[in-house]
Amino acid sequence: MRETTAYVAVDSDTPLTLHTIHRRDLRPDDVAVDVTFCGVCHSDLHDIHRPGNKPLVAGHEFVGTVAAIGAEVTRFQVGDAVAVGNIVDSCGTCTMCLAGQENYCEQFPTLTYGGRDRVDGTPTQGGYASEYIANEKFVYSLPDTLDPAGVAPLMCAGITVWEPLVRWNTGPGKTVGIVGLGGLGHLAVKFAHALGAHVVLFTTSEAKAAGARALGADEVIVSKDAAAMSAQANRFDLIIDTASAPHDLTPYIRALALDGTLCALGALGSMQFDPMALLIGRKSLASAGSGGTVGTQAMLDFCSERGIIADVEVLPARDVNLALERLERNDVRFRFALDMKQM
């Protein structure tokens, strides 16, 4: 067994504390990653507060350098810069896996933390740690043209919005709406703009208008303005809804053009909408979750070509509890990245 240090949630309502944890010895197809930056995701906060899953090491969007490799690893060498996302294994044989959509594995993918190792059944522990060990298939080369701290959130927030944008053919001639300008939303705006679409941000705050335009939004609609929302009827080819708070989807469905799609990514609980809004215009309501190995690599290649990273505030890892506290009260501009060399 390998030892590493990590910030551990020992229960659901006390701060994370630094402990020594054990990682498995390297299997032939494993890569050991010396973690340098780890993003802080809302799902981290949710799982830390959720009872019954402790002890827990969160963190599922991180970058680092290869510290060691298994005997059969061919894609990486010690010292390579790499990135890891929220999925670290899958069955590899089902129709979803064979299509490169391991995120929809019919046997359920192995999550970076809070999952079960497919070989020995031990719980997976995440990237709020000095080292992580993963199967090489789920480790990606880190583009050397990009700031590593800003790449880390691409591995969760980025791929989550990238896949539906590509699936629904975002590009020139398309009008795409983005609901919310948080960790997911700001990357959705950047991606949609870079893909060539006309990008419209829906936000509850007029104060976010200038920032949204700087990221690539062509227009900003304040969703609390009923008249402004009514004026959007039958306009959008695709709307990506990243808002996490429960809300009525009907105004956004009405904003879709004929055969348009609303992809709801943020609020994954029960959804409120008027079915007639879907019927009139043959509109679709869809969702998506994370991404597979093919899509993740395509996203990283695109970001490397276009110079796209997440906007992050970097905090030393020793301030992880401060980051979680601020995230809980929404006191963050898009995303935190923890500097794991400052533990």
Confidence (pLDDT) at 245: 84
- Map tokens 């504390």 to a residue: 17
**For all residues of the chain together, what is the average pLDDT?**
96
Range 119-139 average pLDDT: 97
- Helix, strand or coil for residue 288? coil
Count of CB atoms situated within 10 Å of the CB of 315: 18
- Whether the pLDDT of residue 267 is over 80: the answer is no
Confidence (pLDDT) at 244: 84
- Whether the pLDDT of residue 1 is over 90: the answer is no
Pairwise CA distance, residues 272 & 243, whole Å:
14
Scored b (16 or more CB within 10 A) or e, 238-265 reads bbbbbbbeebebbbbbbbbbeebbbbbb
Range 157-184 average pLDDT: 97
Count of CB atoms situated within 10 Å of the CB of 22: 11
User: What would the pLDDT profile of 309-343 be if each residue is shown by its tens digit?
Assistant: 999 999 999 999 999 999 999 899 899 999 999 99
Confidence (pLDDT) at 51: 93
State phi, psi for 176 to the nearest 5 degrees: -120, 130
User: What would the pLDDT profile of 216-252 be if each residue is shown by its tens digit?
Assistant: 999 999 999 999 999 999 999 999 999 988 899 999 9
Range 275-284 average pLDDT: 95
Taken in order of first residue, the domains within the chain and their CATH numbers are 2-156+291-339 (3.90.180.10), 158-286 (3.40.50.720)
Burial of 6 (0-12, 13-18, 19+ CB in 10 A): buried
- Whether the pLDDT of residue 270 is over 80: the answer is no
User: What would the pLDDT profile of 189-220 be if each residue is shown by its tens digit?
Assistant: 999 999 999 999 999 988 899 999 999 999 99
Range 266-278 average pLDDT: 84
Pairwise CA distance, residues 4 & 160, whole Å:
29
Given a contact cutoff of 8 angstroms between Cβ atoms, the answer to whether 208 and 181 are in contact is yes
Structural tokens at position 67: 């510290």
Lowest mean pLDDT segment, chosen from 123-137, 145-159, 238-252: 238-252
Pairwise CA distance, residues 107 & 336, whole Å:
32
Pairwise CA distance, residues 23 & 3, whole Å:
6
Lowest mean pLDDT segment, chosen from 106-110, 247-251, 268-272, 332-336: 268-272
pLDDT-derived band at 268, boundaries 50, 70, 90: low
Confidence (pLDDT) at 269: 72
